[in-house]
Amino acid sequence: MQRTLVLLKPDAVQRRLMGRILTRFEDKGLNVIAMKMLRVTPELSAKHYAEHVSKPFYPALEKFITASPIVAMVVEGLDVIRVVREMLGKTNGLMAASGTIRGDFSSSKQMNLVHASDGEEAAAREISLYFAPTEVHPYTPCL
Ligand code: CMP
C-alpha cells in the first residue's frame, strides 16, 4: 500500500468541484484516509512548493494557492502515487487528455484544480506538512 497527498486547490473549491473530484478517487477504489479544509499560508506554500520558489511563476502560484481555502487529503491504495497522477492528467489543463480530471475540467497551467505528490519521498514530506500522524486514519474496507 502507498499513500499520496492530494490537494483540491482554491479553483476546485470555488468552482464547486470538490464532490465530483472526490467521487473519481472513490470510484477508482482508493481510500481517503485523512481530509481537512484549510487556508494555505505563504509559509506553508513556500515549504510545499520549495522546488518552485525560485521560478518565475512562483509569486503568481503563491497568490493563487493562498487566495481561498483548499481541501487536503491523504489517499491510500496500491501504486496510488502513479494512479492518482495519471487520473489528474498533465499539469497544463489545455494539454491534459480528456477523461483525466484536468483534461475534463481545466484549461489552465496554474489553475489546474488538483495537486498530487510526484514520488514516494515527496508524498511522505508533503503528508507531514498537512497532517499530524494522529489525523491519518487508515482502514480496511469491508466491502
Ligand atoms: P502542481 O501539480 O500543484 O505543481 C506545481 C504547480 O505550479 C502546478 O501544479 C501549477 O499549479 C503551477 N505551475 C506549474 N507550472 C506553471 C507555469 N509554467 N506557470 C504557472 N503555474 C505553473
Residue 119 within a domain: yes
Give the chain's domain count: 1
The answer to whether residue 60 sits within a structural domain is yes
In tens, the pLDDT along 41-78 reads 999 999 999 999 999 999 999 999 999 999 999 999 99
- pLDDT value, residue 141: 82
Structure pTM?
0.96
Q: What parts of the chain have a pLDDT lower than 50?
A: none
Task: Kindly state whether residue 140 falls inside one of the protein's structural domains.
Answer: no
Is residue 17 in a domain? yes
* 138/131 Cα distance (integer angstroms): 13
Which residue's CA lies nearest to atom 6 of ligand 1?
110
pLDDT confidence of residue 7:
98
Atom of ligand 1 nearest to the CA of 118: 2
Residue 82, in any domain of the structure: yes
DSSP symbols for 71-135: EEEEEEETTHHHHHHHHH--SSTTTSPBTBHHHHH---SS--SEEE-SSHHHHHHHHHHH--GGG
Query: What CATH number is given to the structural domain containing 91?
Result: 3.30.70.141
pLDDT of residue 142: 77
In a domain, 61, yes or no: yes
| C-alpha 133 – ligand 1 centre gap (Å) | 28
Please identify, by atom number, the ligand 1 atom nearest to the C-alpha of residue 88: 2
What is the Rg, in whole angstroms, of the alpha carbon atoms belonging to the chain? 14
Residue 8, in any domain of the structure:
yes
Tell me how far CA of residue 13 lies from CA of 1, 50, 51, 71, 90, in angstroms: 28, 24, 25, 8, 20
Domain range for 98 = 2-135
